[in-house]
Structure formats: C-alpha cells, structure tokens
Amino acid sequence: MKLKFILFFLLVSCQKKNQFINVTINLPSYNQSKYEISFQNINNDDFFITYWDEEDNKLNSDSKNKSNEYIVIPFLKPSTNYFFRINSKKNISKLYTFKTHDLPENFPEFNLNKDSLFSFSGYLLFRTQMDPGIQFLMDDEGKIIWYSMSDSAFSRPFNISNEFSYISLSKKNIIHELSYNGDTLLTLNMVDDEIHHEITTSSNVYDSSKVYIGLTYEYLLNPNSEVDSIIGDGISVYNNSGIKIWSWNIFDHINPYNEKYKIQNDWSHANGVEVDNDGNFLISFRNFSQIWKIDSRSGKILWRLGIDGDYFLKENEIFYSQHAIHKNNTNNYMLFDNGARDYRETSRALVFSLNEKNSVFNYIRSVFLPNDLFTFKQGSVYNIDDEKYLFCSSTNNRIVILNSNGKILWDLESDHSFYRVYYIDKNNLFFNQNN
C-alpha cells in the first residue's frame, strides 16, 4: 500500500511538473523590451507568468486560459537578467531565465541630475523624431524600462490615450493606436487629409463613441500671388472605421484679410487640439498666441483667448507662441507659454480657469523655467502631481521637473530634442506590479 502511494505521488508530481510544455522564448524584432513566451498548457486552466529581475522587482502578466498559447511579458529593462515561472492554480513551472538585449546604437543618450529626496512613481513617455523612430518609457532614476522601434520616424503628432495606449501618426495621414507592449491596435488611413502636430482620441464628443481627432492643413489662394497660398488649419474627426464624421476649416469662419493677424504663408500655425470637459474642441494657434474654443457640432468659434482675444488679460497673464493646452490634475486649464524673443524670453507653465458666461479670465499660477531653459518653439508642460511640473525644453534638449516654487527637482539632459514628454501613471498601464 505504501509503495502504491509513493508511485501515485510521483505520477501526480510528474503531471504537475509537465503541465506547461514546449516552452520557447521569442524576441520580437520591433520591440526588444518585451518577450513572447510560447508554450502548451496541457491542463487548459488559467495561467499567468510571474517575472522578475536581479533586484527582485516582480511583475505579473495578464491571465489567460487556452490550451496552446503565448503570453507577452513587457516592460523589460535592457541588458538585464530576468527570471520567470508560469503559474496556474495547481502548478508552477520550473524556473526559466533570459537576458535582454542592449539598447540600440542610435538610442538617445541622457545625463540625469536629481534631488536625492525626490522621486516619482510613474514613467515618462518619450518619442524620437529620427529614423527609425523610437518610443520609450523612463523611470525616475533615468532607466529605460520599455521601448519600441518604428519602421520609420513617426511625424510629430503624438498623444496618450486613456485605454492603455498611445496615438501617433505616420506619412501625414495614417493614424496608429499602439499599446504599450508594442502591438498595433488600430491603423486608419486618412486619405483626404494632411494631419499635422496633433492627433488625439476621445469618447466625450459624440454619443460616447470613441473618435479620433486631428489637426489638418487647409489652404486659401492668396490673391496677391498667382502661386502662393495661405496655409491655415482645420480639425477632422474620424470614427474607428476611418470614416470622417465631422470637419472644421478656419477659412469657413474668418477672412484672413479682415483680421489683425499678420498675413503670411504659414498663417495660423495650429499646434494642439484637445477636447474640453463639455465635449467641445480647444485649438492652440501659435502664430496668433491664442487658444480658441470650437463648438464640436456647429463649428462656431465660442471664444478666443490671448492677445486681442475675447478675454481681458493683464500683462503678466499674456502668453506667447504657446503649446500643449489641456486640463490639468485640478481641472484647470494649463498650457506651456513659450515666451517670445521680442517680448519675454522666459518660458513657463500658465495655469488658469475661465468664467465662460461672463468672459472672465482667472489667473491661478505661473511656474517659470530658469532663463537658460527658455525655448521659443515646441515644448510642453504637464503635472506629475498637483505641485510638480514636468517641462520639456525642446531647444535645450532638457527635461526638468520643478515644484510650484520653480525649484528644479529632476534634470535630464539629452543629445536629442523632443517635441513633448508625457507623464504616465502606473495605473494607466495594463500590468500589475507586486513589489
């Protein structure tokens, strides 16, 4: 009887040991910070993968239930040894290990200086403007924890999504929605438009349906020349089938020759579009130093904010050549006020609210970059928390985090310039972290 029990125990143990068979480790060529683990799950029950590095930083994959499956483990640091086990309710696989590759030779280089007492729990999302393109996440220690290569350099439009993904553009009219593990979720070919500067997504515009919103170039023949056209801007909205459901053209609403804005080839130079809380559009015009609000159904210009706009601004409230208009953590408006060489050679975060009914501008706060970080073009600012500000000083190849008093807490210098840098909360990634 004792012998039978031992044999039974050994048989069961062997079965458990062999629940996960034919395990292979695959490295996608386009994304060397994630690995695909392929195997056969002979018991066909729920499973997930636990993986960790040499410092015992542990991550769990998502859970699946299929007899033959592969599972992705993302967010792997370069040049690092990793260990993993496949888990089910009844079984744990043997220990596997692999080492991740080094960063590509053309990867940006960085030099970080930081306050020893300062840290942040999320990640910074970067994207290069070189060929091939690289998207990557960086932690507060300046370490790369994820990256993905592109076949070619994505053009400038770039935004985060609320669905564990980010939105980008290639070839001026092809929208991509990509998950952080490098998979393409959606590709839309916008054949009728030339999209520039900004592409975003929202479910707060038309009947809670997800739409894709992009800035477009629009053209008006210049009567002073037989050849030249005035380049203006528009907004195009697409559904997830790539069908244009709404559009707006600045020339349908104002005549450039009846306005105070200087007539030039690149006339309005829009550089940002966002959806306000009421489902209407905010559009930033760099060359006007104005933010406009556009009714997302009628196309009516609801207001203009800035120089010669509909709101009275004191001298310290005027902004120049601004970027990155959005609602911040406290539901106030925030923009990156670049400043201007002819007026104020300082850049800042400008935080404000608006009483739209009475056309009243309410100044809340300014957080100024040091003078040597003035950037007359490009750039961005976003909150890390209510009192911390993430700045991208594009012309200086610097990414800095300041507190509300303007003290630099985190200072990253690169050999590359970045148009924008976003802060990503860990809760907005799809994996679970168990420290």
- For every one of its 435 residues, what pLDDT tens digit does the chain have, with 9 covering 90 and above? 444 433 333 334 444 556 788 899 887 766 666 788 888 888 777 888 899 998 877 877 776 766 667 788 888 888 899 999 988 888 888 899 999 888 888 899 999 999 989 999 899 999 887 777 788 899 999 999 888 776 655 556 677 776 678 888 877 788 888 887 767 888 888 888 888 998 899 998 988 889 999 999 999 987 766 547 899 999 999 998 889 999 999 999 999 988 888 888 899 999 999 999 999 999 999 999 999 999 999 999 999 999 999 999 999 999 999 999 999 989 999 999 999 988 899 999 999 999 999 999 999 999 999 999 999 999 999 999 999 999 999 999 999 999 999 999 999 999 999 999 999 887 766 544 443
State residue 74's pLDDT score.
Answer: 80
One domain for residues 288 and 373: yes
Residue whose pair of structure tokens reads 């403007």 in the numeric block = 129
Tokens of 307: 């120089």
Q: Is residue 3 classed exposed, middle or buried when 0-12, 13-18 and 19+ CB atoms within 10 A define those classes?
A: exposed
Boundary of a domain, candidates 99, 121, 148: 99
Listed in sequence order, the DSSP H helices in 43-158 are: none
State residue 13's pLDDT score.
Answer: 45
Q: How far is CA 330 from CA 352, 364, 368, in A?
A: 10, 11, 19
**Domain tally, the chain:** 2
The DSSP symbol for 427 reads G
State residue 423's pLDDT score.
Answer: 94
Tell whether 433 is covered by a domain.
no
Number of C-alpha atoms within 13 angstroms, CB side, residue 219?
Answer: 6
Sheet (strand 270-275) strand order: 270-275, 281-285, 290-294, 301-306
- CA dist 241 and 186 (Å) reads 9
Q: ∠144-271-121 over CA atoms, to 5°?
A: 30
One domain for residues 167 and 67: no
State residue 225's pLDDT score.
Answer: 62
Q: How far is CA 132 from CA 29, 104, 173, 185, 434, in A?
A: 13, 11, 18, 20, 34
One domain for residues 262 and 131: yes
Tokens of 366: 């300014």
pTM, two decimals, is: 0.88
State residue 180's pLDDT score.
Answer: 75
State residue 12's pLDDT score.
Answer: 43
Tell whether 10 is covered by a domain.
yes
B/e letters for 144-180, b = 16+ CB within 10 Å, e = fewer, are bbbbbbbeeebbbbbbbbeeebbbbbbeebbbbbbbb
Tell whether 49 is covered by a domain.
yes
One domain for residues 86 and 142: no
Tell whether 104 is covered by a domain.
no
One domain for residues 115 and 146: yes
One domain for residues 161 and 60: no
**Domain limits at 27?**
2-99
